[in-house]
Amino acid sequence: MTAPWQTQVSLKPFNTFGIDVQARYLVHADNDDAVRQALAGAAERQLPVLVLGGGSNLLLTRDVDALVLHMASRGRRILSDDGEQVVIEAEAGEAWDSIVQWSLAQGLCGLENLSLIPGTVGAAPMQNIGAYGIEIKDVFSGLTALDRQTGELQEFSLQDCAFAYRASVFKANPGRWLILRVRFALRRTLEPQLAYGPVRQRLQEQGVEQPTAQAISAAICSIRREKLPDPAMLGNAGSFFKNPVVSVACAERIRAAHPGVVAYPQGEDGVKLAAGWLIEQAGWKGYREGDAGVHSLQSLVLVNHGQATGAQLYALAGKIQDDIRTRFGVDLEMEPNVY
């Protein structure tokens, strides 16, 4: 059955910033055939296609004169289980945190540090999402994608994906592959990743001496709820800027002027700076222009207080970038995709 095409649809419910722009056409695709049919229909009409998952990593600055293909596939399953390592697979349209919580309910470990990240499974490899010391690449087993140039299905291994910090082969080649389902290699024995200090501290506060995967997930959820606004209450896309990686010399120059700079070694030649710290030091925390603003508790998060347009948020982001470049000599890169 062909998925119906809707016309002139508001995308406000489909992006976590809550930006009210119109899509010329919208199709909800809940299986591979629906995806193929939608792409074929767009090709016949010579329409561009915008693939949309949870809309949690997207800033819409204008109406979308295209077909918006909403990935609505659902499903999760265990593919293999040798008693210790378990490979699971999830469809692209599944909400990311639902898969994390489902895996924990199965007694599986590995995704707990990635709890409560917004978005969908299909979007996760695009950005190589990460949090609290873990990235997708650390638990990745493979994925199936549709090659939009050939119409063929292609399997991707870890090496094929070219994962890097908030980057992948899919992000480097936008419009080429459409991710349909993703596989993860999890374990039944917990190998806790607790390098991030606040997580250890939260577990101690909760009296947890021997943490389980569920306890780590709960601690991270509580931290995220305190630090990051709920998009249902205050429009946002989570962290808006990537943490910049700079040279050792640049980091030392900044440290000489600002001894409290938050920085982490990144290999032998680089240092990762906390973008949120830079933005807060520059005085942007809690700043507001109309309904476009910077969150009052987390300076890395841009927020829509109600009626902000995507263009207004994009302009605010540009001002922050210019200021950080002038003050610190550091370029901040936006994390969300901008349309």
Residue 43 has pLDDT above 90, yes or no: yes
Q: Tokens standing for 9? A: 């649809």
Q: Let me know: does 124 contact 154? Beta carbons within 8 Å.
A: no
Please count the other Cβ atoms lying within 10 Å of the Cβ belonging to residue 24.
18
Q: Please indicate whether residue 166 is annotated as part of the active site.
A: yes
DSSP-assigned states of every residue in 60-94: --S-EEEEEEEE----EEEEEE-SSEEEEEEETTS
Q: What is the CA radius of gyration of the chain?
A: 21
* pLDDT value of position 268: 82
CATH 3.30.43.10 maps onto the chain at: 6-71
What is the pLDDT, as a whole number, of residue 95? 96
From the candidates 103, 115, 217, 239, give the one annotated as an active-site residue. 239
Tokens of 317: 């982001």
Mean pLDDT of 290-319: 97
Q: What does CATH list as the number for 76-227?
A: 3.30.465.10
Question: One-letter amino acid identity for 122?
Answer: G
What is the reported pLDDT for 327? 97
Q: Would you say domain 6-71 falls under CATH 3.30.43.10?
A: yes
Helices then strands, counting H and E runs in the chain, come out as 10, 20
Phi, psi of 274 (to 5 degrees): -80, 110
Place of tokens 């001496």: 209
Please report which helix (H) or strand (E) contains residue 103, including its range.
helix 96-105
The token duo for 62 is 């204008």
φ/ψ region of 21 (left if φ > 0, alpha if ψ in -120 to 50, else beta) reads beta
Give the pLDDT band of residue 217 (cuts 50, 70, 90): very high
Instruction: Please tell me the pTM assigned to this model.
Output: 0.89
Q: Is the pLDDT of residue 121 over 70?
A: yes
Tens-digit pLDDT profile for residues 231-290:
989 999 999 999 999 999 999 999 999 999 999 888 888 999 999 999 999 999 999 999
Report pLDDT digits (tens) over 84-93.
Answer: 999 999 999 9
Query: Would residue 280 show up in a list of annotated catalytic residues for this protein?
Result: no
Of 30, 101, 16, 9, the closest CA to residue 114 belongs to 101
- Residue span(s) of the chain under CATH 3.90.78.10 come to 235-338
Q: Which of 24, 166, 181, 202 is catalytic?
A: 166
Residues 302 and 289: beta-carbon distance below 8 Å: no
Q: Are 137 and 161 in contact (CB under 8 A)?
A: yes
- 232 token code pair: 């249902």
Residue ranges matching CATH 3.30.465.10 in the chain: 76-227
Strand partners, 303: 236, 293
Q: Do 273 and 330 meet the contact criterion of CB atoms below 8 Å apart?
A: yes
Task: Let me know if 296 is a catalytic residue.
Answer: no
Question: Could you tell me if 140 and 133 are in contact, meaning their C-beta atoms sit under 8 angstroms apart?
Answer: no
CATH topology for 235-338 is 3.90.78
pLDDT computed for residue 3 by the predictor: 83
pLDDT given at position 161: 98
